[in-house]
Amino acid sequence: MAVGDVTEDRGYPLMSRLMPVLSKVLQGLLTLLAVSLLIFLAARSLRGDVANMILGPHALPDQVEQLRVQLGLNQPLWTQYINWLGGILHGDWGTSLASGRPVSESLVIGLRNSATLSAVALAVMLPTALVVGVVAAQYRDGLVDRIFLITSMIFNAVPEFVTGTILVAIFATTVVHWLPAVSFIPPGDSPISYPSALILPATTIIIPGVMYLSRLVRVAVIDVMTTEYIQTAVLKGLSPARILFLHALPNAIAPIIPAASLVAAFTIGGVVVVEYLFAYPGVGSALVDAVTNRDLPAIQAYVLVIASAYFFFNLIADALARK
């Protein structure tokens, strides 16, 4: 008894499609603003006075006071926040307290390395997840399928640092020495030039991603394979390959795409642990270093970048889900 028939959403196609996206972008920007405030306050609440820390335990109170003025730490919190935020909008991410160089320098290198790692991981993860999921669905309830389901459950339950440690033990230290246990990439070079340094960190990210996504693919394919239009295709005498690739997959992939974008967002955020484990020179390991050094401008910059990446991929997931 549906009243809206075939022509339901023909009314104002452009506006009705654009409005939700625009409002999402606006929401996202507000969220980022809130996140930046939180980051700022959290960084300020770290124990210990920055100026004290820089100058060490034997500094004279005068020197500390001088540095505080120099760093702007004597100004009210909100002024400091506005100055920081304004700087970022002008491309000035502040100066690293640890190295004394602009944060943006190490940020660019870290971003490039992390993005490369994530991109390589995703480029392998997404197609693999699709193939594994489809194969498991084809052998539904059979031996292959059951082995897959148990394996994926185990890998989803194991944290990344455990997977990574096991991989290191097998391929880099205890069993064979095929790959480096630590990903050394000189600051000026692209990680692409050091493929062997990429393999283990990427694999550590890929395994749980594949295990999670392929389960979704499996369920989506099974759902589609039981629909009436697939039965119709079978009763039309079409070949199994045509049924799978032309009739089933396009319908099965649609519900997976938003999940895949979310996994991409997690991958960006999740590289922190993996990078630290392999000492891979990305945003994640840089963040860990910055926290250790109480390097406030650096911490703020790295967290804001990771949060923005999250926001960006979530936005994509939302836009795709809406379609």
Partner 1 sequence: MTNSVDPAILTADAVTVERLDGAPIIADVSLTLRQGEVMGIVGESGSGKSTLALALMGHARRGVRIGGGAVNIDGTEMLSLTPKQLRSARRNLVAYVAQDPGAALNPTLRLDTLLTEGLEGSSAEKTARAKRILKKVGLPDDDAFLRRRPRQLSGGQQQRIAIAMAVIAEPKVIILDEPTTGLDVSTRAKVLDLIKQLCIADNLTAIYVSHDLAVIASVADHVTVMYGGQVVEQGEMQEVLATPRHPYTRALLDAVPSVNDRQALLPIRGRVPNVGEWPEGCIFSDRCDYAIAACSVRPPLRQAGTALVRCVRPELAHTLGAVSRHIDHRRAAEAVEPALTATHINAAYGDKQVLFDVNLTVEPGRCLAVVGESGSGKSTLSRCLIGLHENLTGELTLAGSPLPLSVAGRDQIARERLQYIFQNPNASLNPRRTIGQSLIAALDGSAAKREGRAIDVINEALDRVSIPADLTDRYPAELSGGQRQRVAIARALVSNPAVLLCDEVTSSLDVSVQASVIELLRSLLEDGLGMMFVTHDLAVVRNIADTVIVLNEGRIVEQGEMQAVLNAPQHPYTQSLLANTLQLPTGDDETETAALAVH
Applying CB under 8 A, the residues found at the interface with partner 1 are 1-6, 11, 226-239, 242, 246-247, 250-251
Closer CB to partner 1, 162 or 246, in the complex: 246
Instruction: Please give the Cα distance from 235 to 27 (Å, whole number).
Output: 48
Q: What's the min distance (Å) between Cβ of 239 and partner 1?
A: 7
Closer CB to partner 1, 5 or 62, in the complex: 5
Contact 110, 283 (CB under 8 A): yes
**At 171, which amino acid appears?**
F
Q: What's the min distance (Å) between Cβ of 227 and partner 1?
A: 7
Q: What's the min distance (Å) between Cβ of 229 and partner 1?
A: 4
Instruction: Please give the Cα distance from 272 to 286 (Å, whole number).
Output: 9
Instruction: Please give the Cα distance from 320 to 275 (Å, whole number).
Output: 29
Q: What are 6's two structure tokens? A: 């075939």
**At 253, which amino acid appears?**
I
Q: What are 312's two structure tokens? A: 């960006």
Helix (H) or strand (E) holding 98: none
DSSP 224: H
**At 218, which amino acid appears?**
R
Q: What's the min distance (Å) between Cβ of 226 and partner 1?
A: 7
Closer CB to partner 1, 120 or 230, in the complex: 230
Contact 107, 306 (CB under 8 A): no
Q: What's the min distance (Å) between Cβ of 153 and partner 1?
A: 24
Q: What's the min distance (Å) between Cβ of 250 and partner 1?
A: 4
Closer CB to partner 1, 35 or 254, in the complex: 254
Q: What's the min distance (Å) between Cβ of 242 and partner 1?
A: 7
> Which value, in Å, is the radius of gyration of the alpha carbons in the chain?
25
Closer CB to partner 1, 95 or 251, in the complex: 251
Q: What's the min distance (Å) between Cβ of 142 and partner 1?
A: 13
**C-alpha 103, offset from chain centre:** 21
Closer CB to partner 1, 63 or 239, in the complex: 239
Contact 97, 297 (CB under 8 A): yes
Interaxial angle between packed helices 103-138 and 296-322, expressed in degrees from 0 to 180 and rounded to the nearest 10: 40
Instruction: Please give the Cα distance from 37 to 80 (Å, whole number).
Output: 11
Residue for token pair 């992939």: 253
Closer CB to partner 1, 159 or 240, in the complex: 240
Closer CB to partner 1, 27 or 231, in the complex: 231
Q: List beta partners, residue 68.
A: none
